[in-house]
Amino acid sequence: MNEKIEELLPFYALDTVTESERREVEAYVASDPEAKRRLDVLMRTASALPYASEPLEPPAALKRTLMDRVNADAQKRFVPPPPAQKSGWSRFMDFFLSSPAQWLPQGVAVLSLLIALVVGAWGFSLRNELTRLQAETALLQKELADQRLVLAQIASPNAQTFVISGTDHQPQAHGQLIADSQTGSAVLVVSGLQQLEAGKIYEFWLIQGDTPVAAGLFEVNEEGKAILQVSQAVTPESYDAIGVSIEPEAGSVQPTGDIVMLGGLD
Amino acid sequence: MQVLIKPIMIVKEWSDEQLIAQVARGDTAAYEMLYDRYCSAVMGFALKITGDQSLAEEVVQETFWRVWRKADLFQTQRGAFTSWFFGITRNLSIDMLRRQKTQVQPVSETDQIIEQTADPSTDVPEAAWLRQRHQQMRTAIETLPKDQRSVIEMAYFRGMTRQEIAQATGEPLGTIHTRARLALQKLREELQMQGFEE
């Protein structure tokens, strides 16, 4: 182990070495897999440092200006591919247009039948598509309304954050309850939870003394994450703790399954 | 009290690496998704370094423009997208800071001065995910002893070399080396304990 270069590794990870130091470190780790592993660990940690800054939404005008510039550049740099050679359909049409006497009698009948079939199938498909799009639009509109509401709270200067951690049943689980101390609205953000078998669901609890209050059901996505919006007032003074348990899919009045997450509201 | 809860799933159908690969092919929709995912992180990061909102906005603009123009240079095997991306932000911010010779504000003051406003087009699950990462990182940093934290602050957020840090603090170079190493080790342990996803 080269002590002199080992001392440089944290500064390499923090990106504050000189060019010659950078070359030294890179040559060193290229010849020593263990040193490379140590450097990777340091670099992964350093790469999380930007998150130490409070996220801040840039002005909307900035995005518009940027997207205008990008769209203009995209039109210049990414030209659509030229039309391919004539397709089979084009060659077929060429034949029809060049020698009508050969195909006219039978062609009219076949074409009529084809048109009827195509129009029928198209109409059926359009109806299905329209129904699907209407349902999708309604769902998206509802989600958008929900999300705007949640965002207003997350961005609130009165937001207080309370940590909720996994118990022995799911120690990898973690999350936060973000509560607005003025409006009482709250959002629970969880991750690291396991996906549940069919017929089971997670239930969120607000706990006052020994009394848990059922506060909603949720499922997690493939990454074990979920966000829950509490739509009625939940002030930290009203409750002592929060928890998550596994319940039958209809939910329970009291926790009956494993308590997988717990946290305090103090 | 009856409490109603509406579940909203965090959907991350596209990873950063998938999106940047699409951007390299000229996909502006993928680019916009990346912007929405990281614009507030970049803005906050640039503001912490430059201490000036208009400079931070310039950094956001230039960072994302470079992402667009240089997407084809990003190589997955050389590290995560965020390392590359935040590296661009940091370099631009430090360059701008040096050019402007602006006094850096501590993050706590900056946080109080700047009032956050919600953009209605912001993706809420992404915003919550970002906020969670911020809380985890901030908690981890607060566990560091003050002298270790200040080495990280000077090196990473002000771009000072180890020699400059030794000179600024009046400590021997060896002490600065030790503090930087211990700080990163401690940060890693704390982030792991909190389940921070790399």
Whether residue A137 sits in one domain with residue A199: no
- Phi, psi (degrees; rounded to nearest 5) at A232: -120, 165
Q: How far is residue A31 from each of residues A1, A10, A16, measured CA to CA in Å?
A: 11, 18, 22
CATH class of B14-114: mainly alpha
Round to whole Å and give the CA distance between A10 and A16: 9
Does any domain span residue A74? no
pLDDT digits (tens, 9 = 90+) for A112-167: 788 878 777 777 777 777 767 876 776 576 556 556 656 666 677 788 888 899 99
Does any domain span residue A256? yes
Q: Residues 103-132, chain A: which have Cβ within 8 Å of B?
A: none
Specify the length of chain B in residues: 198
Closest CA to A151 of A187, A175, A204, A184: A187
Predicted local confidence at residue B1, as pLDDT? 39
Closest CA to B26 of B69, B58, B78, B62: B69
Give the distance from residue B197's alpha carbon to the nearest chain A alpha carbon, in angstroms: 9
Does any domain span residue A72? no
The residue segments making up the domain with residue A33 are 3-48
Whether residue A178 sits in one domain with residue A208: yes
Contact call for B187 and A45, based on CB within 8 A: yes
CA dihedral of B47, B101, A12, B151, whole degrees rounded to 10: -80
- DSSP letter for A181, please: T
The answer to whether domain B122-198 has CATH 1.10.10.10 is yes
Specify the length of chain A in residues: 266
Q: Residues 134-193, chain B: which have Cβ within 8 Å of A?
A: 134-138, 141, 152, 155-157, 159-162, 174, 177, 180-181, 183-184, 187-188, 191
Does any domain span residue A214? yes
Last residue of a domain, one of A149, A182, A197: A149
Mean of the per-residue pLDDT values of chain B = 81
DSSP result, B128-147: HHHHHHHHHHHHHHHTS-HH
B131 touches chain A (CB under 8 A): yes
Whether residue A190 sits in one domain with residue A143: no
Predicted local confidence at residue B121, as pLDDT? 52
pLDDT digits (tens, 9 = 90+) for A177-231: 888 877 778 888 888 899 898 888 898 888 888 888 888 788 888 778 888 877 5
Number of domains in chain A: 3
Confidence tier at B108 by pLDDT (50, 70, 90): very low
Handedness of CA A10, A12, A17, A20 (dihedral sign): positive
Whether residue A256 sits in one domain with residue A170: yes
pLDDT digits (tens, 9 = 90+) for B8-18: 434 456 888 88
Whether residue A133 sits in one domain with residue A190: no
